[in-house]
A and B are shown apart, each in its own frame.
Chain A
């Protein structure tokens, strides 16, 4: 079992100070989820002083359990340092600026397959116009069936301006940082649970391209959202994240899609994942307590399948925090009680995880729980 150091920090200096104060063990890997309030380039620069591989991303709230206070904080950095076998993992930052999301996913997949025969991925993705689903599809296309892929989309405290991923060497506002584990040495399992429910009649996406939706029911996508939510251009993004579209796929599966960017001039919405033309969609909403109850129930079910973990990482959608408020503490507490392991995580703009059938997908509005267990 790997040792871990998990703490919350309010500044880059505090991160370094806490890291340096640790004398119990020598970490070999660091994960840092930091609010943009901490100045991510500065955090990245500070990380370079730690001389171990570090990956991280910006957040919309941070999760650190095991303290006397609420596990949820804002404008801090949630830091986790562990000491897995350095040969059991590899990290890398991929830029998506000059490459399609799908190709980026293929590149990540190839890199992972070269690194390990049987890889498992944890990803953090930055950028508000990125089709995150396409990245996942790219990795899945080149990887063996059922390859574990988990992760989240970086946030920026709900500002929807600029998000980051970083390593100790560099950072990117349009990139992916990935850590690939050797599954022969590290077991990765996870589950995604939502609790959002559809509201109102079905609508049809009448014009879209990838993750960009132009029209719904032959009307500009922004007009539909503004009309139904009674919001203006200024508040559309902030409020819209709470009311994702529930999309019904041809295979009968349903998935929530949140837009992370708005083109007011063209009336288009840029969603975190693909929304194909012709898709049937409806608004969805969370009713707070019900959502948390459902996720706790799903966590119990998942615990029955996977009882042990050395580390638990939570990727929780920003909207869950906003919808359920302090009730998100309950689901974090439930996870903590069930696995009795260090828990840390972040609030994201999108989640990557498995549905209850074990199929990897890109989600919004979910709590994605990832269990890491070091075998060797």
Chain B
């Protein structure tokens, strides 16, 4: 511009010598030229400014990006390293130091990445690295491997690798997945456990999705339902419960769905069709569950065809039994009536005989006759006792068995007996036995026998002892005991001393509900009765 101005200074004096219109043309041209040059200079300066600004912008933005990536590298939350062509680690972040237990100074440009790879994975990963550096695009960018820390700890790691463009370097990111892997293994075990449970359960189990149109296809089935219906698992997974149900009972499915939504569960019986079109009766117990965010139905399906047949047979036999029981009751009632009338008549006649014999005894003092009279009276007494026995024996088993508190039975049995010189200990509480209502007579007999035959007796004790197959109720005293030669006879009708009927009846009373009684005390050291109650016939309250 300055040169142009200098040029004009030279030209201007010459302008005076040319015509005015030409002067104007030249002056205008000069003005336009100076404008143009001025603009070019301005634009040139602007271009320099712009160039500087572009340089600054690029530097600043690249610095920004560099800082961002440095922060990303450092705070990615994974162990990161830059790996050179030959595997040398040239840059690491803090997490990498922490994971492997080495300082940055010990790692950068001093160690090779393969040093940290567990032996069995080493060759594969080194091969990946080489191929990646050669630009092979088929090398995986993410894989799992095991790495080894400074202490020799083997860690599971998820490794992600990317190659930097235009340079022979890659960036590697390792996520320590040891805990996750362990959890996965635990989960697999748990899943295996549940799978085994599901597949080995004796009932059929199905899970199916609920859709707007009703139950969807089965999502999961166990082996039992496949066996039950004759389909393979793969076939089952293409079917729904509607495919199983017999046509005339499909309404039950709709009702059950309504129940599911109102009560969250439903139990119903229906008929299913097997693959071979056979009908089976099933009981379905279904619940609405949330499975991985989906509303699904878990249903347990039991084949009750056999059970139903047995139930029907049971009903038939129960009816039969009731019919026969009624007949037996009728017969029993007649026998009892006959017994009572006969017993009453015999007793009347025996009273007459006894009265006549006692008159003879008073009127005829002949010693020879008195012996016969005594024998006659004795015979009368025996007949009366036998009549009494028939009365008591007649009552056994007439009433239905029930539950009785043992302590209460013992306490009420002793209440009317003369036990003033004999102390009683009852070491039990809250035990009930299932027995004939006459069981009270059993304990009464035990007390009565002890008083009558114990001789030196001062103590009677009752206790219990639970065995693997039942309960023992023990009755022990400190009397003379049962002589060993009579132990086998005390429970027979004919014996023992004049009380055989009591223990014989006791055996019969107890036997009705499977209870037994034995005596095993040592002779001379007191008697010891064991009443053994089978499992199911006693309970603790």
**Interface residue A165 (Cβ < 8 Å from any Cβ of B):** no
B58 adjacent to chain A (CB < 8 Å): yes
Residues from chain B with Cβ under 8 Å of A227 in the complex: 60
Our pick among A200, A243, A322 for the contact of B43 (Cβ within 8 Å) is A322
Chain B, range 24-47, C-beta contacts under 8 Å to A: 28, 32, 35-36, 39, 43, 46-47
Q: Is A325 in contact with B57, judged by CB distance below 8 angstroms?
A: no
Are B57 and A238 in contact (CB-based, < 8 A)? no
Check if B46 sits within 8 Å of A322, measured CB to CB: yes
Q: Which of B48-56, B260-268, B496-504 contacts A (4 or more CB under 8 A)?
A: B48-56
Question: CA separation between A235 and B58, bound complex, in Å?
Answer: 18
**Cβ A228 vs Cβ B60 within 8 A:** yes
Complex: how many Å from CA A230 to CA B49? 10
With a cutoff of 8 Å between Cβ atoms, the chain B residues found around residue A228 in the complex are 56-57, 60-61
Closest Cβ–Cβ distance, residue A177 to chain B (whole Å): 26
The closest CB in chain A to the CB of B59 belongs to A230
Q: In the complex, which residues of chain A have a beta carbon less than 8 angstroms from the beta carbon of B50?
A: 239, 242, 322-323
Asked whether, in the complex, the Cβ of A10 is within 8 Å of the Cβ of B32, the reply is yes
Chain A residues within an 8 Å CB radius of B57: 199-200, 228-229, 243, 283, 285
Chain A 32-51 interface mask (CB, 8 Å, partner B; 1/0): 00000100000000000000
Q: Which one of B28, B36, B61, B65 has the greatest number of beta carbons of chain A within 10 Å?
A: B61
The interface size of chain A toward B, counting residues with CB under 8 Å, comes to: 23
> At the interface, yes or no: B64 with Cβ under 8 Å from chain A?
yes
Give CA–CA (A199, B64) in the complex, Å.
11
Tell whether, in the assembled complex, residue A230 and residue B52 are in contact, meaning their CB atoms are under 8 Å apart. yes
**Residue among A37, A74, A323 with most chain B CB within 10 A:** A74
Cα(A243)–Cα(B53), bound, Å: 9
User: Interface SS of chain B: helix, strand, loop or mixed?
Assistant: helix
What residues of B have a CB within 8 angstroms of the CB of A325 in the complex?
43, 47
Q: How far is the CB of A282 from chain B (nearest CB, A)?
A: 8
CB contacts (< 8 Å) of B52 on chain A: these are 230
Cα separation A245 to B312 with both chains bound (whole Å): 89
Q: Which of A37, A74, A201, A230 contacts B61 (CB 8 A)?
A: A201
Shortest Cβ distance from A282 into B: residue: B61
**What residues of A have a CB within 8 angstroms of the CB of B64 in the complex?**
200-201
- Bound state CA distance, A229 and B62, in angstroms? 13
* Closest chain A CB from B299 CB (angstroms): 49
Contacts of A230 in B (CB 8 A): 52-53, 55-56, 60
Complex partner residue of B58 from A199, A242, A322, A323, CB under 8 angstroms: A199
Is there an interface contact between B49 and A285, defined as CB atoms closer than 8 Å? no
**Cα of A199 to Cα of B58 in the assembled complex, Å:** 8
Q: How far is the CB of B47 from chain A (nearest CB, A)?
A: 7
Interface of A is mostly: mixed
Q: CB of B277 within 8 A of chain A?
A: no
Contact between A74 and B49, CB atoms less than 8 A apart: no
What chain B residues lie within 8 Å of A243 (beta carbons)? 53, 57
- Cβ of B252 < 8 Å from any Cβ of A? no
The answer to the question of B185 belonging to the interface, with a C-beta cut-off of 8 Å to chain A, is no
Kindly report which residue of chain A lies nearest to residue B40, judged by CB atoms: A74
With A and B bound together, what is the CA distance between A235 and B45 in angstroms?
11
Q: Among A75, A158, A200, A322, which residue has its beta carbon within 8 angstroms of that of B47?
A: A322
Q: How far is the CB of A343 from the nearest CB of chain B, in Å?
A: 22
A10 / chain B contacts, CB cutoff of 8 Å: 28, 32
Q: Give B65's nearest chain A residue, CB to CB.
A: A201
Q: Which among B47, B49, B68 is the interface contact of A231 at CB below 8 angstroms?
A: B49
Chain A residue contacts of B60, Cβ below 8 A: 200, 227-228, 230
B61: nearest residue on chain A (CB-CB)? A200
How many Å lie between the Cα of A347 and that of B28 in the bound state? 24
Complex Cα–Cα for A285 and B52 (A): 13
Which B residues are in CB contact (< 8 Å) with A158? 46
A17 to chain B, nearest CB (A): 13
Beta-carbon contacts of A57-84 to B below 8 Å, as 1s and 0s? 0000000000000000011000000000
Least CB distance from A159 to B in Å reads 10
A200 to B69, CA, bound (A): 13
Mark B49-89 against chain A: 1 for CB-CB distance below 8 A, else 0. 11011111110111011001000000000000000000000
Contacts of A201 in B (CB 8 A): 61, 64-65, 68
For A176-211 the 0/1 string (1 means CB < 8 A from B) is: 000000000000000000000001110000000000
Output the least CB separation between A231 and chain B (Å).
6
Q: Among A37, A229, A323, which residue has its beta carbon within 8 angstroms of that of B56? A: A229
Chain A residues with CB under 8 A of B61 = 199-201, 228, 283
Bound Cα distance A5, B3 (Å): 38
Q: Known: A201-B64, A201-B68, A285-B57. Contact between A75 and B49, CB under 8 A?
A: no
Per-position contact with A for B468-510: 1 when CB-CB < 8 Å, else 0? 0000000000000000000000000000000000000000000
CA distance A92 to B32 in the complex (A): 34
Residue of B nearest to A228 (CB): B60
Pairwise interchain contact A238-B49, C-beta atoms closer than 8 A? yes
Which residues 169-220 of B have a CB within 8 angstroms of A?
none
- Tell whether, in the assembled complex, residue A200 and residue B65 are in contact, meaning their CB atoms are under 8 Å apart: yes
A148 to B46, CA, bound (A): 36
**Which residues of B lie under 8 Å from residue A200 when comparing CB positions?**
57, 60-62, 64-65
Q: 1/0 per residue A215-229: CB within 8 Å of B?
A: 000000000000111
A322–B40 Cα distance when bound, in Å, is 11
| Closest Cβ neighbor of B32 among chain A residues | A10
B52 to chain A, nearest CB (A): 6
* Residue of B36, B49, B68 ringed by the most chain A CB atoms within 10 A: B49
Q: Which residues of A contact B47 (CB under 8 A)?
A: 322, 325
Cα separation A210 to B28 with both chains bound (whole Å): 46
Closest residue of chain B to A203 (Cβ to Cβ) is: B64
Mask of A302-340 contacts with B, CB within 8 angstroms, 1/0: 000000000000000000001101000000000000000
- Is B53 within 8 A of A242, CB to CB? yes
How far, in whole Å, are A229 and B68 apart by their CA atoms in the complex? 20
Q: Which residue in A75, A229, A235 is a CB contact (below 8 Å) of B39?
A: A75
- CB-CB under 8 A from A239, the residues of chain B are 46, 49-50, 53
- Write out, one digit per residue, whether chain A residues 241-274 have a CB within 8 A of any chain B CB (1) or not (0): 0110000000000000000000000000000000
> Which residues of chain B are near A238, meaning CB under 8 Å?
46, 49
Q: How far, in Å, is B490 (CB) from chain A's closest CB?
A: 105
Whole-angstrom CA separation of A285 from B60 in the bound complex:
14
* Contact A235 B49, CB 8 Å, known A10-B28, A227-B60: yes
Nearest chain-A residue to B62 (Cβ)?
A: A200
Give A236's nearest chain B residue, CB to CB: B53
In Å, the complex CA distance between A324 and B66 comes to 29
Q: How far is the CB of A59 from chain B (nearest CB, A)?
A: 13
Residue of A nearest to B36 (CB): A74
| Chain B contacts to A: CB under 8 angstroms | 28, 32, 35-36, 39, 43, 46-47, 49-50, 52-58, 60-62, 64-65, 68
**CB-defined A-B contacts under 8 Å, sample of 19:** A10-B28, A74-B35, A199-B57, A199-B58, A200-B57, A200-B65, A201-B61, A201-B64, A228-B56, A228-B57, A228-B60, A229-B53, A229-B57, A230-B56, A239-B46, A239-B53, A285-B57, A322-B50, A325-B43
New A-B pairs, 20, CB < 8 Å, besides A10-B32, A200-B60, A285-B54: A37-B35, A75-B39, A158-B46, A199-B58, A199-B61, A200-B61, A200-B64, A200-B65, A228-B61, A229-B56, A231-B49, A239-B49, A242-B53, A243-B57, A283-B61, A285-B57, A322-B46, A323-B50, A325-B43, A325-B47
Which 7 pairs from chain A and chain B are nearest by CB? A200-B61, A230-B56, A229-B53, A228-B60, A239-B53, A74-B39, A242-B50
